[in-house]
Amino acid sequence: MSMVDITTKPEIFREAVAVGKLKLRAETVERIKKGTIAKGDPIYTAKIAGILAAKNTPTIIPLCHPLPLTNVKVEIEVIDEITIKVTSTVRTRAQTGVEMEALVATSVALLTIWDMVKQYEKNATGQYPFTAIETIQVIRKVKSED
């Protein structure tokens, strides 16, 4: 087992965008909008968590190359009464792409929101019948020598 050898590949501009969604109870989404989550602001916290996660991807995913990330942007929006969408854009000038960094940023941002609102999502037996992370995917990848 070894890392993929990228020694002879040129450094070029690379960008990846990953998106994911989190389904919550409508009451929880309303609390997020009103700023009444006991743990604090899940949107702001999730943005920071996503950025940190992207920067730490090689420590999370075995054999993933450490890359000099030049930009990480995590955007979070409420798209309807029960859905929050996270979009992570990661850029670098490197020998390999940043898809994993974008996916990890999105995943950790979604998990952070879940963690911060879980007390409102549990049912009477402590389960999460309404809460779900859905459709995490890379929606764009760019390689450019410019």
Mean pLDDT of 1-10: 92
* All domains of the chain in start order, with CATH: 12-144 (3.30.70.640)
CA-wise closest residue to 17 among 140, 143, 144, 110: 140
Mean pLDDT of 81-107: 98
Catalytic residue numbers, as ranges: 115
Give 17's contacts (C-beta < 8 A, 6+ positions apart). Answer: 87, 88, 89, 90, 102, 138, 139, 140, 141
Q: Is pLDDT of 146 > 70?
A: no
How far apart (Å, rounded) are the C-alpha atoms in residues 51 and 39?
20
Write out pLDDT tens, residues 34-45: 999 999 999 999
How far apart (Å, rounded) are the C-alpha atoms in residues 29 and 78?
8
Give 57's contacts (C-beta < 8 A, 6+ positions apart). Answer: 64, 67, 100, 101, 104
Write out pLDDT tens, residues 118-137: 999 999 999 999 999 999 99
Residue 58: is it exposed, middle or buried by C-beta count within 10 angstroms (0-12/13-18/19+)?
middle
